[in-house]
């Protein structure tokens, strides 16, 4: 199993997650099937399904799973962990100081 991708961001930002799938793709947030109407865009040439969430809040933190299909019709999943927090917490999480950001 692949290691999950980590996205650390501030509130009110936009986040994007993508997975490559040759068919129907389902997205889950904290083990619940998401209604992705208007949130997922498929890039035709690359077969990436991109989940875009605008104006993220604390409730958007958690584990996102994309379940899709490979070209040879084998199921797979892609995991992303999203951490939404005020700016200072994200800086601490990433091990940065304000001096390093300037």
DSSP conformation letters of 36-82: -TTTEEEETTTTEEEEEE-S--GGG-EEEEEEEE-TTS-EEEEEEEE
Instruction: Reply yes or no on whether the pLDDT at 89 is more than 70.
Output: no
CATH number at residue 29: 2.60.40.10
pTM of the model: 0.75
Structure letter (DSSP) for residue 12: T
Residue 95 pLDDT class (50, 70, 90 cuts)? low
Q: Give the residue numbers spanning the domain of 71.
A: 5-101
What's the number of domains the chain is made of?
1
Residues 1-24, mean pLDDT to the nearest whole number: 85
pLDDT of residue 33: 95
Instruction: Give the pLDDT confidence score for residue 65 in this predicted structure.
Output: 92
Sign of the CA dihedral with 83 first, then 86, 91, and 93 last:
negative
| Greatest C-alpha distance within the chain | 49
* Sheet with 40-43, side-by-side order of all strands: 15-20, 48-53, 40-43
CA dist 57 and 47 (Å) reads 28
């Amino acid at each position: 199993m692949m290691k999950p991708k980590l996205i650390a961001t501030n509130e009110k930002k936009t986040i994007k997650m993508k997975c490559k799938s040759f068919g129907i793709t389902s997205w889950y947030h904290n083990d619940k099937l998401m209604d992705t109407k208007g949130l997922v865009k498929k890039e035709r040439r690359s077969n990436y399904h991109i989940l875009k969430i605008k104006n993220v809040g604390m409730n958007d933190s958690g584990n996102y799973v994309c379940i899709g299909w490979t070209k040879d019709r084998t199921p797979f999943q892609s995991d992303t962990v999203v951490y939404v927090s005020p700016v200072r917490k994200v800086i601490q999480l990433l091990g940065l100081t304000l001096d390093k950001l300037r």
